[in-house]
């Protein structure tokens, strides 16, 4: 269907850019919340990597990968799935995502998907699982992801105006606007990909996560502020709203034990870079930057399975209206899926 990918072309993001973003932000409010109570939580990393590997091998779009992981997280959170069926669930989520994000010729056949799993299942298994997943989501699966927003935000990640405002040195003068823009885009893409492996980011609003990735990408450009008034206008987020998420993304993507990406003239993190992301802004006003049923979000730098990193009102599984009065997402019980089609 290629529903959102047309927005990655600049021609669609000029006259109607504001309307497109408003529509996408309205759609993201309908995302279901991941409550970190999945009985299969310890298998998530391997299952997500399976989807990533297939997407890399088949050259699927980034948006396909992110939608598939979102479907997987929510479905796993609400069902008890036999371990032998996790791969089936993962690739069925990918199959559904392909139908939404890929052009028709790129949508894999069920035989091809089964072949990727050494024919461990049958075509009927995939069909039954697809129906189960679609029924659970009530067919509401055309939800924008962080990849969707990054496609739009990346168009404004670096401009000629940014280049003109940069202090000029030899390295800067030898790097073109296009090179800066490409490097920031590639770094943002890489950071967003790393975010899939971290549960603590599952319930961050996709638009906020994408904006934070852009800021993280700009962080590695010397003499360039990570955020400015133009990006506030483009994304709808102010610096203090993205700061904590951006810090976490930078830490997870490039921990102290790893080297920084050699893409463009870079700067190392410094406590003296006031206004360039090194300062932490403490505020009680979160401007509802998390999922629609979250009143606030606290990001910690603990392990990936730190289920306390996102705080929901009274408890992580309690539904409550958000500060804007929007209705909360309906809470679902964990159920044992009907595996009657299991022939094993």
Residues 6+ apart with CB under 8 A from 268: 260
Question: What is residue 198's predicted lDDT score, i.e. its pLDDT?
Answer: 85
Q: For the chain, list the domains and their CATH numbers.
A: 32-136 (1.10.472.10), 147-329 (no CATH)
Query: Residue 66: which of 213, 180, 183 has the closest Cα?
Result: 213
Q: Are 309 and 299 in contact (CB under 8 A)?
A: yes
The residues that bridge with 79 in the sheet, in sequence order, are 335
Question: What is residue 219's predicted lDDT score, i.e. its pLDDT?
Answer: 92
Question: What is residue 63's predicted lDDT score, i.e. its pLDDT?
Answer: 95
Question: What is residue 58's predicted lDDT score, i.e. its pLDDT?
Answer: 92
Question: What is residue 279's predicted lDDT score, i.e. its pLDDT?
Answer: 37
The residues that bridge with 335 in the sheet, in sequence order, are 79
Q: How far apart are the first and last CA of the chain?
A: 34
Query: Residue 226: which of 216, 235, 237 has the closest Cα?
Result: 216
Could you list the pLDDT tens digit for every one of the 344 residues in the chain? 444 444 444 444 566 778 888 899 999 998 998 888 878 888 999 999 999 999 999 999 999 999 999 999 999 988 888 899 999 999 999 999 999 999 888 899 999 999 999 999 999 999 999 999 999 999 999 999 999 999 999 998 998 998 888 888 877 788 888 999 999 999 999 999 999 988 888 899 999 999 999 999 999 888 899 999 999 999 999 999 999 999 999 887 776 655 444 444 444 444 333 344 433 333 334 444 444 343 333 444 444 444 333 323 333 333 433 443 433 444 444 444 555 445 44
Distance from C-alpha of 331 to C-alpha of 143, rounded to nearest angstrom? 18
Phi first, then psi: what are they for 290, rounded to 5°?
A: -105, -170
The residues that bridge with 250 in the sheet, in sequence order, are none
80: three-class secondary structure by DSSP: strand
Where do runs of H (alpha helix) occur along the chain? 17-28, 44-58, 62-77, 86-101, 110-116, 123-136, 146-153, 160-165, 170-173, 177-195, 206-219, 229-235, 239-253
161: three-class secondary structure by DSSP: helix
């Amino acid at each position: 269907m290629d529903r959102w990918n047309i927005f990655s072309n600049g021609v669609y993001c000029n006259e109607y850019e504001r309307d497109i973003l408003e529509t996408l932000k309205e759609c993201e409010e309908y995302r279901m919340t991941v409550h970190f109570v999945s009985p299969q939580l310890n298998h998530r990393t391997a299952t997500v990597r399976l989807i990533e590997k297939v997407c890399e091998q088949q050259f699927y779009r980034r948006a396909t990968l992110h939608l598939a992981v979102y479907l997987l997280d929510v479905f796993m959170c609400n069902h008890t799935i036999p371990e032998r069926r996790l791969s089936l669930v993962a690739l069925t989520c990918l199959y559904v995502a392909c139908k939404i994000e890929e052009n028709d010729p790129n949508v894999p056949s069920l035989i091809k998907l089964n072949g990727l799993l050494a024919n461990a299942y049958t075509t009927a298994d995939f069909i039954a699982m697809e129906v189960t997943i679609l029924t659970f989501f009530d067919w509401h699966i055309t939800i924008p992801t962080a990849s969707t927003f990054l496609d739009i935000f990346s168009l404004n990640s670096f401009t000629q105006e940014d280049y003109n405002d940069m202090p000029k040195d030899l390295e800067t003068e030898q790097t073109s606007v296009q090179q800066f823009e490409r490097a920031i885009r590639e770094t943002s893409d890489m950071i967003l990909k790393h975010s899939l492996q971290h549960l603590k980011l599952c319930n961050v609003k996709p638009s906020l996560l994408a904006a934070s990735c852009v800021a993280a990408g700009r962080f590695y450009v010397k003499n360039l502020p990570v955020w400015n008034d133009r990006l506030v206008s483009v994304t709808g987020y102010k610096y203090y709203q993205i700061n904590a998420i951006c810090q976490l993304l930078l830490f997870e993507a490039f921990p102290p034990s790893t080297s920084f990406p050699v893409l463009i003239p870079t700067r190392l993190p410094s406590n003296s870079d006031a206004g360039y992301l090194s300062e932490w802004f403490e505020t009680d006003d979160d401007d509802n930057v998390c999922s629609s049923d979250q009143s606030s979000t606290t990001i910690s730098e603990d392990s990936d399975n730190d289920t306390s990193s996102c705080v929901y009102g009274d408890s992580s599984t309690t539904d409550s209206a958000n500060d804007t009065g929007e209705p909360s997402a309906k809470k679902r019980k964990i159920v044992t899926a009907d595996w009657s089609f299991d022939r094993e």
